[in-house]
Structure 1
Amino acid sequence: VVRQGNFLGVVAEREWGAIRAAENLKATWSTWEGLPDQSKLWEFVRATKVNKDDVTSNVGNAEQALEQAARRISATYNFAIHTHGSIGPSCAVAE
């Protein structure tokens, strides 16, 4: 049995062994709360906890530049949300 974060799986030398191990595996999952209503999608996305925040560039002092700006403009942009979601069990084969 292998668990890494939210991933739970089994490792076996042969497929049948993996199937039997998976059938005997008992897991307790969190309660499904469903998907948000489409009209409230963006509120849901904005309220979702950020797991990791990557800084790809940190040049200059943005806060100071904004404070010194003669004029500030603010805007919100929504874009289509795409994800690569798994539709089947994860699988890897190694020899």
Structure 2
Amino acid sequence: MSTEQRPIRRADALFIVGKGPHKASLTGLRHRMIEEHAQGPYRVVEVEDPSRDRRPMDRPDYTAAVHDWCERRGDLRDGDARGDDGRRDGAGCFP
């Protein structure tokens, strides 16, 4: 993939999902990557990742807990990734 074809160079909105103060260095790295590789105009949408139950996977409610977390992540995207006209801007899903 050539440099010009990289999605970060074509994006008009970039999402940074914060993982809390204990992962602040990752948030900083993501900002530096955007500054280095993105081409304007673009906007950065920064949101905090919803908390998730991190107990072991072998419990009966694990799948439901992860599904709930994914739904709440989607709600963040839908609430913050809107253009001025109120429609989603097509930036896609959180990774």
TM-score by length of 1: 0.22
TM-score by length of 2: 0.22
**Larger relative helix fraction:** 2
**Larger relative strand fraction:** 2
Q: Determine which structure has more spread, i.e. the larger CA radius of gyration.
A: 1
